[in-house]
Structure 1
Amino acid sequence: MNTDSTALARVVRIVAAVAERPADDIHPEQRLFEDLGLDSLQITEITQKIENEVGRPIDEDLLNASGVTVASCAEIAAAA
């Protein structure tokens, strides 16, 4: 598994846990707000969980933007 797929798998697991959905229901192209119906508090929780996983801070504003997908969260996590 390469770094990008590892980051994606981690983010899918985190988003699924926060959204209280099975990981199989979370897909890379899904948008956090628009498709998954997450709110800003849940985005904060996702940000904190990603930070704990990668051991580095993540700019929460990057995840709070409209149109952010699960895949773009993984890219942000991988770049951190």
Structure 2
Amino acid sequence: MNTDLSTLTWVLRIVAIVAEQPVEAIQPEQRLMEDLGLDSLQITEIAQKIENVVGRPVDEDLLNADGATVARCAEIAAAV
């Protein structure tokens, strides 16, 4: 799936806020749990923030899947 750059940009910002890291330190290929060290509660927070932007529910299980990346979050956000 192709995700537009603006979606990726705001998802990067959301992930950076939740991960408490500068947005410049977050890369699309980074995995939420494995690389960024996020736990399921933080991933739920990301899902809620995405929902607030897009106005539709996000399936948290997709974000909690093993190997889910920042880019995958943007794909999910673009698809809802």
Match of 1:17 in 2: 17
Match of 1:6 in 2: 6
- What TM-score do the two structures reach when normalised by structure 1? 0.95
Counterpart Cα distance in 1 of 2:48 and 2:74: 14
The alpha carbon displacement at 1:6 in A equals 1.1
Counterpart Cα distance in 1 of 2:10 and 2:18: 12
1:26 aligns with 2:26: yes
- What TM-score do the two structures reach when normalised by structure 2? 0.95
1:45 aligns with 2:61: no
Counterpart Cα distance in 2 of 1:72 and 1:4: 12
1:66 aligns with 2:63: no
Q: Structure 1 runs of 4+ off > 2 angstroms?
A: none
Give me the CA root mean square deviation: 0.8
Equivalent residue letter for 1:59: D
Q: How many residues align?
A: 78
Identity %: 74
